[in-house]
Structure 1
């Protein structure tokens, strides 16, 4: 466990929430922008490459040659990207920290990790809650484009992990599609903002622009299959809008081939978001938000599925062992602001 003590966002439960503890720890980093938004290396992708399963043995051989990842002790992880200009797997330090925290937040929402059984889709709805929190982070960072980009990096990485696979079997596939559609629209808004600020192009100060765009293209293609499986009409603007930015601004996407015949043209530039993401966000929140707060307004995100926020009796009732999975010592540590990491 690791300690932090920073005021928490009101979306989190009180007095105990491991999600809140992770988030307040991350907010400390935001107070050091030179460190937070500097680019660092990853020695390996923080997720499995689902499109290249046949190359898995070859990739493992490459990784052995590079040496095992040891979080930067001897591998490239966390090394300054400017010292390794040819290395392509890079992110901001903020995105690295936020991604690792996001993975842990998803783990807090998996009853299997605590020898509990609640309901079949608990883990999947928990992952949706985690993604909603990232969207809230994006909205709340409206005055800081660098932080919004860090959120987009985190989403791009997280949506490639096996943690989201449970969404494919969730009992409300239309909700799942609407959430991923909103994520895609938020990224389009990010690209539009970079374009307005003249930061969209092959020589952008956003050093991993091509990498993150390529990951969102993969998300869009996976989303196309999701539409078909869900029997919904495909929204090509949200699925292929990133392709238009790529072709217009000459950005190279690693490991992605674009279908130029289906590329959607970009909308005209406007002083604000041409994709009207704010309105899409409000509609989503009104439809899927839970009534909370003194005014009982619909709100998304939060930590309802985070098992650390439950009281002992509720956890014990769902426990396969008949006991609360948390000791008093662990509960005191969580109350003090410490976090739980998973191997």
Structure 2
């Protein structure tokens, strides 16, 4: 095992019970079977998924839109290696652009009351993001004063997001749920949507990522570059697939039920451009997204920086939405190949530290003690969501 890292002392390893609604509905047998198929008998990941399923039982509430109240990213800090005065001016100008993206007074307010807001998301999409944040926190050894191995957190995030691909595939035929999954994916890879959601998510941002990390950099730090590339390509293919589904169902029309197509397009393009700098071979996936926007006269949001303004590829011709038995982008093959590359296993919660035995946690803990109190594990066994930090 690699040498243990020194703890910075900044991460609070304590866990506490979430103040959930009283009289939590019981999990029905169908939901229990679905949970058993994916998750360990006891884990925060399991409980977070269970809560998501309960939150989205009412389709009217689940697919109503709420405002984010800010741009879903943080203005990049200046590069100190460049001219300081010029950088300051550029940074300030970009910050003004980003702050103008949304009105923070609208945070988590119904989008129907704020028709001018563009960063709006379904309640289901936000609920899935909540589950992702919780799943991230319990996969980060720093939150438990532990060290497993150097790339553990990167592989743990990979495991977590693989569940999104499985969720999307299982939602085949339910375009609303597939869209919500894409919303959460776009937000998750930006990560900076956390602050305005803290009250709703009940997670301290410091308990999610260390200051010098992003989720994509954590994943890209993994040594298995081929699998990382395949994973990112799968997410781009997933989004192109849902766009073809919207097209097939005539949901690009002006009065569409889908109110934020341009916003989610923008988030995925930002993701593609950002990760491309790490060497991912995208095969012009951002150009394909832009092609859908051009074809259906959709205004893409979030491309307010020069790095995102131009497509990385030439104009592309889009396939018919009904091609390949309604799978024009080959989603089924992409997912199958990714599963095969992972020995048939995707997702799950094996790297969710709350799913481990006390002995496994003690072995990786700096003080050789179980970092999760027995009382906290009792709450998890009872289906409660545990929160990291203050």
Q: Indicate the TM-score class for this superposition, using the shorter chain for normalisation.
A: 0.7 to 0.9
Preserved contact between residue 39 and residue 46 of structure 2 (Cα < 8 Å): yes
User: TM-score, normalising length from structure 1?
Assistant: 0.86
Task: Report how many residues are paired.
Answer: 322
Query: Within 5 Å, which residues of 2 pair with 1:46-195?
Result: 46-50=72-76, 54-55=91-92, 58-59=95-96, 75-161=105-191, 162-195=214-247
Give the Cα separation in 2 of the matches to 1:287 and 1:61.
Answer: 39
Give the Cα separation in 2 of the matches to 1:287 and 1:331.
Answer: 34
Could you tell me how far 1:59 is from its partner in structure 2?
A: 5.0
Give the Cα separation in 2 of the matches to 1:235 and 1:18.
Answer: 33
RMSD: 2.5
1:35 and 2:35 aligned: no
1:247 and 2:294 aligned: yes
Give the Cα separation in 1 of the matches to 2:181 and 2:290.
Answer: 20
Specify the SS of the correspondent of 1:263.
Answer: coil
Name the CA shift for 1:265/1:49 in 2 (closer, same or farther; >3 Å). farther
Could you tell me how far 1:253 is from its partner in structure 2?
A: 0.8
Counterpart for residue 326 of structure 2: 272
Preserved contact between residue 287 and residue 313 of structure 2 (Cα < 8 Å): no
Name the CA shift for 1:181/1:260 in 2 (closer, same or farther; >3 Å). closer
Name the CA shift for 1:143/1:310 in 2 (closer, same or farther; >3 Å). same
Please list the CA deviations of residues 1-40 of structure 1 after superposition, one character each: whole Å capped at 9, or x if unmatched: 2355422523444331100000001101221000000000
Could you tell me how far 1:49 is from its partner in structure 2?
A: 4.2
Deviates more, 1:111-120 or 1:165-174: 165-174
Could you tell me how far 1:110 is from its partner in structure 2?
A: 0.5
1:318 and 2:364 aligned: yes
Which of 49, 52, 55 is the matching residue for 1:23?
49
Preserved contact between residue 223 and residue 239 of structure 1 (Cα < 8 Å): no
Preserved contact between residue 286 and residue 312 of structure 2 (Cα < 8 Å): no
Name the CA shift for 1:49/1:198 in 2 (closer, same or farther; >3 Å). farther
User: TM-score, normalising length from structure 2?
Assistant: 0.76
Unaligned runs of 5+ in 1: 68-74, 229-233, 290-297
Specify the SS of the correspondent of 1:40.
Answer: strand
Deviates more, 1:258-267 or 1:38-47: 258-267
